[in-house]
Amino acid sequence: MKRTGLFMLVGDPVEGSLSPVIFNTAFRSLNINAVYVATRVPSGILPSFIAGIRQAGIRGFNVTIPHKVAVIDLLDSLDKSAQEVEAVNTVVNRRGKLVGYNTDGLGALMALEEEIGQIRGKKVVLLGAGGAARAIAFSLVKAGCELTIANRTLSKAEALAGIIERKLGKRVRVTPLGRRELRKEISEADILINTTSVGMLPNVEETLVSADLLHPDLVVNDIVYKPLKTKLLREAEKAGAKTISGLGMLINQAALAFKIWTGRPAPVEDMRRAAEEYLREVG
């Protein structure tokens, strides 16, 4: 019998991650002899853990908080998707050579385009300037959006805008999170995306933007998926805006990783159903 393939999630913490459910469902659906396990790896042991993964022939792994940047120095090469963003969420082990990819940005873009079609030329306000924002911001600008980054710490928004301008040669606007500034930016925008953790369980009553700042022509996407219907999405509904939950990005970034590892298109509908079921049961 062929050896069971092993795939992993490497992060800290990893409790409550949906990735094992999503990938194990995908392997089962396509009859692939493989399993996916989430492992908590504290920063101190990351180098030796990655060396172990390489030597033990583990086929691939996902990287999550807090290792998406630190892992870069431990890999053999980077795909363009990770080079640009300078962060890795997916690694494939090709005969002992570890190659890093980033599927977060494209995953987010696919999730948006599945719902609203081509987003070229759209005005997008992105809330947040952290790791998640970075990958999404790059893919939006590359797809031809006009981007404004809104962040509590303005200097971080400026730094991210600077990196994008330098690498992609496109202007990116920045704004603090003040109500007046947000009202103005959002009134002119087509799409609003929250990339911050605000509104995530257990803080389900928190949102950076309330209904009075939104409008019916807006599409509001929250990348938080716990809960699926965040306070921001509830406010968006109140304002008559179209809402997109974080599930689409989660599934699409995983589907891209699955394709990198197995060479096969992911069974996205099965993966989505399994994630929804899990979220309904566990919350």
Decide whether 50 or 129 has the Cβ nearer to ligand ATR.
129
Position 50, amino acid: I
Comparing CB distances to ligand ATR, the nearer of 118 and 153 is 153
**Residues 205-244 as x/- pattern, contact with ligand ATR by CB under 6 A:** ---x------------------------------------
Residue 163 and residue 80: Cα distance in Å, rounded?
15
Binding of ligand ATR at residue 88 (CB under 6 A)? no
Question: Considering the complex, what minimum distance in angstroms separates the CB of residue 226 from ligand ATR?
Answer: 13
**Of these, 28, 54, 123, 152, which contacts ligand ATR (CB under 6 A)?**
152
Q: Which residues have a Cβ under 8 Å from the Cβ of 193 and sit 6 or more positions away? A: 108, 124, 125, 126, 127, 136, 220, 221, 222, 223
Question: Which CB sits closer to ligand ATR, 40 or 94?
Answer: 40
Between 34 and 232, whose beta carbon lies closer to ligand ATR?
A: 232
Catalytic-labelled residue, pool 68, 122, 123, 167: 68
Q: Between 5 and 130, whose beta carbon lies closer to ligand ATR?
A: 130
Question: Is residue 26 involved in binding ligand ATR (CB under 6 A)?
Answer: no
Catalytic, 122? Answer no
With contacts defined by CB under 6 A, name the span among 31-39, 77-85, 127-135, 254-262 that binds ligand ATR.
Answer: 127-135
Under the binding rule (CB under 6 A), the answer on residue 129 touching ligand ATR is yes
Amino acid, res. 95:
R
With binding defined as CB under 6 A, does residue 131 bind ligand ATR? yes
Q: Applying CB under 6 A, what is the total number of residues that bind ligand ATR?
A: 16
For residue 23, what are the CA distances in angstroms to 76, 87, 110, 157?
25, 21, 19, 33
Residues 47-76 that bind ligand ATR (CB under 6 A): 65
Contacting ligand ATR (CB under 6 A), which of 8, 112, 164, 198? Answer: 198
Residue 35 CA neighbour count, 13 Å, CB half: 5
Taking CB under 6 A as the criterion, the residue among 59, 123, 142, 156 binding ligand ATR is 156
Q: Which residue from 69, 197, 237, 278 is in contact with ligand ATR, where contact means CB under 6 A?
A: 197
> Closest residue to ligand ATR, Cβ-based?
130
Task: Please tell me whether residue 87 binds ligand ATR under the rule CB under 6 A.
Answer: no
* Residue 189 tokens, joined: 């925008």
- Chain centre distance of CA 164: 18
**Per rule CB under 6 A, is residue 163 in the interface with ligand ATR?**
no
Residues that bind ligand ATR (CB under 6 A): 65, 128-133, 151-153, 156, 195-198, 208
Residues with catalytic roles: 68
